[in-house]
């Protein structure tokens, strides 16, 4: 064999060996999708879109692209387009096929062959667009590059033909259209416009100067330029604007936004913060555009920088001279809303949900950045500085008073046995994994639930009327509240770990399901929101652990003679009535109290027939904004929200 032919033979062998490897990679993604995208539920489905968009964001961060569009098409497929350089289509030396095909079909290939690319973005799992391809029944990639339009299509990740040119163009960029595989995403393949647009808004704030348009072609809108439901997100000032959007429903304590943007020790750091008149602390942190729920070194760097700088300023001001106790870190963060965003080349993610940044070097970078930013601001705005320190002193004083209340909550839970709240009807099973507790609105419904339950594994905790609105209450009031104390004690959770004085300790959680059960009316949903607000602000780990559920009692009982069926909405009611043909009796349940124990068990509590809605936090930043709007002081935005969502409020009309 000639040398040339030998080389060719070798190349062919290599090529097939590599493509077998690639295939195995794709097969593995399809066999174990959760390993790559977290889960195959609603969250994983939307993750596919983020993965594709992240590639375009990378291109934008490298300065090659400023416009991205994302569309949910009429057939529920997704199209993402950018005006970047376009994925290269020339033959990849090592792989023997086009670079486009490598990017689309090789797990973990990403943009790695382009060493200069400024690649710090990438999804939570950083798995790349090839994973999306593997999990799609069909995907089409179109590249606009060198004056030519190139195209390649794939099925379940397999290329259907080599890259071909299909025409000429003056555009530049990449377009990807994909159809999620319903044999993988068995729960649903329907995309939520709201979920996607919330994420696109967030990305626009985190990457200023990039225009991101989100379109829903399933919904017509005569007023928008495209004729479809559409929003364009664009931020000139980045985090500075993001924080105004986030905190817009709270009353500002000072007028200014304190912000900085720059590089520290080679790490790009962006910080923005405001103080408001509330008592809650709202810290949001991002690494490479990913929300780091569990915090990490960047957040601890922020806290350290903040505490150090404010303490120094306060000491020098003499405003602390009369204070009889130490100011703590927490005191500096009451009424603080802040966003910290860093870009890290090789992020190490730790923690239960892999959303905690571990890189040591980031801590001092952020801490230094914050010190400089804050020192400047305090010097230039002495009035604001005074207002902030006064608020801190107030917080410290209140906290001092609250410590007792908090300790009570802690001590009680620690000696939990015998210390359970009198109102709790506990279950007999001792294994928390099997157990559930129903938080029930009102004593009378509580009584019915107690009769109807399976006492082996179901406990009942009745709550008196409306629980405290924690969004408006000072921390010590929260810990002094009887109903809230009962919740802590009944659940067996404690506050404070070695690392974080506010963290929730779930080691002794007594029930793995905590079910909120309220009337299916306006009052009921208000109480439900109050309880959720409490969980979100004070027991977020409980939600994140997947322990919080909402029960769904029926709205109607349709009867004809001996025949009886329940309905959960108007449509169901009408369908049942029709199937019973003839005159039927319809009972509208206004509250849980109208059901007897057996009915409540059959419809709402029996695991075999009930529907529990699990509470999840899809986007913590947006959830924070919504709670501050629903439960805060400002009335107009709340009214607007309720009017927009009047379908729910109308149930009783
Ligand atoms: C690597 C190299 C080059 C472009 C890209 C990746 C790229 C990837 C994606 C994914 C979505 N949109 C994208 N846009 C660009 C180009 C290198 C060059 O032209 O020199």
Instruction: Give the model confidence (pLDDT) of 541-555 as tens digits.
Output: 999 999 999 999 999
Give residue 366's pLDDT.
97
Output the CA 60–ligand 1 centroid distance in Å.
Answer: 10
Residue 87 Cβ inside 6 Å of ligand 1? The answer reads yes
Output the CA 85–ligand 1 centroid distance in Å.
Answer: 6
Question: Pick the catalytic residue: 151, 231, 426, 521?
Answer: 521
Q: Can you tell me the mean pLDDT for 520-527?
A: 85
Ligand 1 pocket, mutate which of 114, 142, 210 (most atoms under 8 A from CB): 114
Residue 587 Cβ inside 6 Å of ligand 1? The answer reads no
Spell out the residues 6+ positions from residue 63 whose beta carbon is closer than 8 angstroms to its own: none
Residue 105 Cβ inside 6 Å of ligand 1? The answer reads no
Query: What percent of the chain shows pLDDT beyond 70?
Result: 88
Whats the size of the chain, residue-wise?
A: 653
Asked, colleague to colleague, whether 239-393 and 415-553+593-617 share their fold, the answer is no
Q: pLDDT digits over 297-356, tens only?
A: 999 999 999 999 999 999 999 998 888 888 999 899 999 999 999 999 889 999 877 889
- In this structure, which topology does domain 415-553+593-617 adopt according to CATH? Rossmann fold (3.40.50)
Give residue 652's pLDDT.
27
Residue 111 Cβ inside 6 Å of ligand 1? The answer reads yes
- Could you say which architecture CATH assigns to the domain 239-393? 2-Layer Sandwich (3.30)
Is 380 known to be catalytic? no
- Sign (positive or negative) of CA dihedral 84, 85, 87, 89: positive
Among residues 141, 145, 183, which one has the least CA distance to residue 167? 145
For the chain, the structural domain boundaries read: 3-191, 239-393, 415-553+593-617, 556-588
Q: How far apart are CA 90 and CA 645, in angstroms?
A: 51
- In this structure, which topology does domain 3-191 adopt according to CATH? Heat Shock Protein 90 (3.30.565)
Give residue 301's pLDDT.
97
Minimum mean pLDDT among 213-227, 506-520, 580-594, 628-642: which range? 628-642
**Which residue's CA lies nearest to atom 14 of ligand 1?**
86
Per DSSP bridges, beta strands 494-495 and 548-551 are unpaired
Give residue 1's pLDDT.
42
Element at 452 (helix H, strand E): helix 443-452
CA geometry: angle 27, 30, 34, nearest 5 deg:
130
Output the CA 89–ligand 1 centroid distance in Å.
Answer: 10
Ligand 1 pocket, mutate which of 84, 112, 147 (most atoms under 8 A from CB): 84
Q: How far apart are CA 402 and CA 479, in angstroms?
A: 7
Q: How far apart are CA 125 and CA 362, in angstroms?
A: 20
Output the CA 16–ligand 1 centroid distance in Å.
Answer: 25
Q: Can you tell me the mean pLDDT for 238-245?
A: 97
Span between the terminal Cα atoms of the chain, in Å: 87
For residue 82, give the ligand 1 atom closest to its CA.
Answer: 12
């Amino acid at each position: 064999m000639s040398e040339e032919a030998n080389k060719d033979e070798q190349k062919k062998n290599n090529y097939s060996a590599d493509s077998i490897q690639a295939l195995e990679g794709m097969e593995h993604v399809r066999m174990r999708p959760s390993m790559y995208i977290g889960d195959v539920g609603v969250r994983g489905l939307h993750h596919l879109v983020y993965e594709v968009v992240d590639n375009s964001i990378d291109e934008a961060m490298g300065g090659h692209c400023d416009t991205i569009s994302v569309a949910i098409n009429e057939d529920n497929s997704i199209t993402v387009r950018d005006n970047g350089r376009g994925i290269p289509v020339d033959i990849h030396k090592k792989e023997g096929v086009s670079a486009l095909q490598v990017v689309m079909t090789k797990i973990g290939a990403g943009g790695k062959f382009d060493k200069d690319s400024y690649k710090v973005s990438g999804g939570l799992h950083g798995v790349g667009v090839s994973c999306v391809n593997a999990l799609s029944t069909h995907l089409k990639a179109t590249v606009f590059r060198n004056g030519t339009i190139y195209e390649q299509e794939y099925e379940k990740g397999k290329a259907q033909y080599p890259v071909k040119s299909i025409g000429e163009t003056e555009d530049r960029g990449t377009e990807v259209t994909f159809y999620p595989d319903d044999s993988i995403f068995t729960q649903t393949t329907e995309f939520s416009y709201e979920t996607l647009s919330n994420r696109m808004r967030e990305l626009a704030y985190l990457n200023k100067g990039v225009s991101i348009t989100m379109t829903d072609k399933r919904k017509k809108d005569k007023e928008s330029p495209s004729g479809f439901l559409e929003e364009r997100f664009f931020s000139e000032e980045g985090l500075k604007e993001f924080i105004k959007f986030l905190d817009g429903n709270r009353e500002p304590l000072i007028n200014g936004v304190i912000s900085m943007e720059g590089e520290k020790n080679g790490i790009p750091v962006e910080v923005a913060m405001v103080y408001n008149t509330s008592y809650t602390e709202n810290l949001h942190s991002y690494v490479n555009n990913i929300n780091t729920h569990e915090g990490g070194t960047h957040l601890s760097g922020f806290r350290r920088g903040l505490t150090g700088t404010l303490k120094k300023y306060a000491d020098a001001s003499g405003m602390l001279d009369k204070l009889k106790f130490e100011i703590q870190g927490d005191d500096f963060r009451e009424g603080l809303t802040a966003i910290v965003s860093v870009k890290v080349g090789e992020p190490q993610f730790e923690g239960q949900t892999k959303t905690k940044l571990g890189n040591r070097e980031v801590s001092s970078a952020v801490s230094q950045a914050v010190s400089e930013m804050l020192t400047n601001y305090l010097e230039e705005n002495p009035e604001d500085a005074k207002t902030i320190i006064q608020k801190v002193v107030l917080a410290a004083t209140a906290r001092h008073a609250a410590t007792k209340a908090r300790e009570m909550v802690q001590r009680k839970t620690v000696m939990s046995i015998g210390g359970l709240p009198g109102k709790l009807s506990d279950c007999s099973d001792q294994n928390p994994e099997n157990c559930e507790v129903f938080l029930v609105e009102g004593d009378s419904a509580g009584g019915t639930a107690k009769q109807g339950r399976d006492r082996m594994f179901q406990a009942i905790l009745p709550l008196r009327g409306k629980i405290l609105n924690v969004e408006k209450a000072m921390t010590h009031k929260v810990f002094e509240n009887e109903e809230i104390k009962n919740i802590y004690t009944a659940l067996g959770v404690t506050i404070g770990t070695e690392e974080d004085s506010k963290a929730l300790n779930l080691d002794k959680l007594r029930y793995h399901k905590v079910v909120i059960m309220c009337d299916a009316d306006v009052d009921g949903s208000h109480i439900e929101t109050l309880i959720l607000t409490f969980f979100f602000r004070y027991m977020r780990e409980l939600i994140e652990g997947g322990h919080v559920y909402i029960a769904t009692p029926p709205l109607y009982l349709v009867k004809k003679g001996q025949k009886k069926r329940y309905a959960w909405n108007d449509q169901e009611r009408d369908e049942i009535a029709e199937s019973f043909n003839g005159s039927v009796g319809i009972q509208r349940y206004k509250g849980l109290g109208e059901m007897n124990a057996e009915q409540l068990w059959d419809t709402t509590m029996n695991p075999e027939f009930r529907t529990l809605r699990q509470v999840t936090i899809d986007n913590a930043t947006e959830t924070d904004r919504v709670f501050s709007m629903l439960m805060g002081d400002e009335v107009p935005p709340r009214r607007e929200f309720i009017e927009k969502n009047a379908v729910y409020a109308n149930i009783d009309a």
